[in-house]
Chains A and B, each alone.
Chain A
Amino acid sequence: MPPASLRAASLECENTPPNSLRDPPFSPILFAGFLARPLPLAPLNLLLSKAMRQMHARHTDVFERMQAVPNPAFLIVPTDLPFALVMRVNIDKPTLMAIRRTGGGPIAARLGTAATISGPFEVLLALLEGKIDGDALFFTRALSFSGDTEAVLALRNAVDGAEIDLARDAAHLLGPFARLAAPLGGFLNMLWRRSSADMAAVAASLTGGQQTRLRAQEDALEELTLKVRTLTKRSNRRQKQTQET
């Protein structure tokens, strides 16, 4: 358990995701994160606390599966958002809290978390619902972690086994306004699709020239590799012939 001074919402964590994830995806979430940066975290933390209480009530099996892990505490770093999440999945008192990512030294040890998991926010959400294979994500480095492998594996298995449906859970979170969940979800989905398409067009426009040059360089590199391979083979053959004579 970290000291009380580290449990406040004003915590900060290092702004350094692992090498493989240094460049966040060019997505609407990245821009939403820029807009959200000046906002206070207190309202978000209220919502996160409520979401965690609901997760505990609706998906008790996640917490049961984590009981074998001595310290089920994780630092979750969405690489395209300006904050990270400190999540403790203890069966008796689970907590979820956002902290800012604004510099500072390594904090995982000070927070008392067992491991740090980093990845684009969209990937983390899909993983939570078990829509994509966690192993494949890690092995292609779309996702990264550091720290206690056993704790991370247990969390992956526990979450994957829970049949979490974020839309359904979010509707419950809205309480008496649950009937608004479906139209709201539809609107957000539409917004997400449109803004993703717009941003993909912007990205293509910005990097189109570079992509063309890159493809030309790849072709040149492939030609050179073939030439070097042929020359090496020829040289080895000559060396062998010389040795035989």
Chain B
Amino acid sequence: MPTDTLELVCPAGTPAAFHAAVDAGADTVYCGLRDDTNARNFPGLNFSREELADAADYAHARGVKILLALNTYMRAGQPEAWHRAVDDAAQIGIDALIMADIGLLDYAATHAPQMRRHLSVQAAASTPEAVRWYAERFGIQRVVLPRVLTVPEIAQLITEIDIETEVFGFGGLCVMTEGRCSMSSYATGQSPNMNGVCSPASHVHYEERGSKLVSKLGEFTINSFKEGEKAGYPTMCKGRFEAHGKVSYLFEDPTSLNVVSVLPELIKAGVTALKLEGRQRGKAYTKKVVSAFRRALDTAATGAVPHMPDLSEVMEGGKATAGAYQKSWQ
């Protein structure tokens, strides 16, 4: 049933970012544990069990929900870390788990049935048949939709399923079929879907060559930035390569998703929740982006068109796009 607003689901990579998100107006905050059970397994990031319990207390005391991302795929024969995470989350009082692995979904449905289960974007479920299968088999209450659907496609999908939908609203874009991309694995030998990080920092290098800044991932040169040009973190899909004598972004421009311009349409389509990306970013990013989207959603709830906030400072490449939501290509 469409409402007049969307639940604002915000990222937190550390307790400080968690507090910033809650204080800036998040309805829900999602985070991960300090291991490869989540897809933002960067060094120095994420929560210990104690920090997670403190964060849950902080959120619940302010009427905010806390979600735990367990969105990597379990290693064959070694499911213990993922199982323990489900058990601990249940004990801490986490409101919902975000999962993609069918084995883990089954474990959570069996061992912690009281906890809500959300289907991660890593499962890449974008058809009514796929979503219904996950709902019937594992009792998922919400699906996080891949960033490949237009607003009309989302609206149509919602009429054909009986569970909540969550869509991405801001942050890094992924043009691949999520959960199935092997480009980073090819370059580094580490899988984003298993080890929990796309372009692991241990394989990232920056070099200054004259006035240029060159970024590398493993043995691959990903980009070369001129003086004054905004640089970026090197991922294969956002690399600038030479092909047929022309240098260009072959797969995707380094641009941030920003859906403020289509918020009224997403609300009208019956979407339940809006997810902001960026657990790997600092608390200054969290505060700025969450505050901007809180204001935009509050404006949209009154029926007015929300003002596009200036978030260029924290955007990848300093540019924004509404991505596939306003798809002008086939």
Residues of A within 8 A of B (CB): 18-20, 61, 64-66, 68-69, 130-136, 138-141, 144-146, 149-151, 153-158, 160-163
Report chain A residues within 8 Å CB of B230: 139-140
Known contacts A19-B210, A160-B282; A133 and B204 CB within 8 A of each other: no
Is B42 touching A133 in the complex (CB atoms < 8 A)? no
Q: Which 10 A-B pairs have the closest CB atoms?
A: A161-B14, A157-B44, A154-B44, A154-B43, A150-B201, A160-B282, A158-B44, A149-B204, A133-B284, A65-B44
Which of B15-23, B75-83, B121-129, B146-154 forms part of the interface with chain A? Answer: B15-23
Please, could you name 12 A-B residue pairs with CB atoms under 8 Å apart, sorted by A?
Answer: A19-B210, A64-B48, A66-B44, A68-B43, A133-B284, A133-B285, A141-B231, A146-B208, A151-B43, A156-B44, A161-B15, A161-B17
With both chains docked as a complex, state the minimum distance between the C-beta of B44 and any C-beta of chain A, in angstroms. Answer: 3
Closest to A164 in B: B16
Contacts of B314 in A (CB 8 A): 133, 135-136
Interfacial chain A residues near B208, Cβ < 8 Å: 18-20, 144, 146
Contact of A153 among B42, B48, B211 (CB under 8 A): B42
Q: Is the CB of B206 within 8 A of A146?
A: yes
Decide if A150 touches B43 in the complex (CB within 8 Å): yes
Can you list, as one digit per residue, whether each of B128-142 has a CB less than 8 Å from chain A (1) or not (0)?
Answer: 000000000000000
Please, how many residues of chain B have a CB less than 8 angstroms from a CB on the other chain? Answer: 36
A163 to B45, CA, bound (A): 14
Chain A residue contacts of B200, Cβ below 8 A: 150
CB pair A133–B16 under 8 Å, yes or no, is no
In this assembly, does B283 line the interface, its C-beta being within 8 Å of a C-beta of chain A? yes
Chain B min CB distance to A124 (Å): 14
Output the nearest chain A residue to B12 by Cβ-Cβ distance.
A161
B232 lies within 8 A of chain A by Cβ: yes
5 further contact pairs, Cβ within 8 A, besides A69-B44, A135-B314, A141-B213:
A136-B313, A138-B231, A157-B14, A157-B44, A161-B44
> Would A139 and B232 count as touching, CB distance under 8 A?
yes
Closest to A145 in B: B206
Chain A neighbourhood of B233, CB < 8 A: 135
Please name the residue on chain A nearest to B50 by beta carbon: A61
In the assembled complex, how far is the CB of residue A16 from the closest CB belonging to chain B, in whole angstroms?
11
Q: Tell which of A68, A132, A145, A157 touches B13, judged by Cβ atoms closer than 8 Å.
A: A157
In the complex, the chain B residue whose C-beta lies closest to that of A19 is: B208
What is the bound-complex CA distance between A48 and B231, given in angstroms? 33
Could you say which of B43, B232, B282 contacts A133, with CB atoms under 8 Å apart? Answer: B282
A193 to B285, CA, bound (A): 26
Q: A156-B44, A157-B44, A160-B17 are in contact. Are A135 and B205 (CB under 8 A)?
A: no
Chain A residue contacts of B110, Cβ below 8 A: none
Closest to A152 in B: B201
Indicate if the CB atoms of A149 and B284 lie closer than 8 Å.
no
Residues of B within 8 Å of A162, CB to CB, are: 16
Any A CB within 8 A of the CB of B202: yes
A134 to B16 Cα, complex, angstroms: 15
In the complex, chain A residues whose CB is within 8 Å of the CB of B45: 157, 161
B285 CB contacts on chain A under 8 angstroms:
133, 135-136
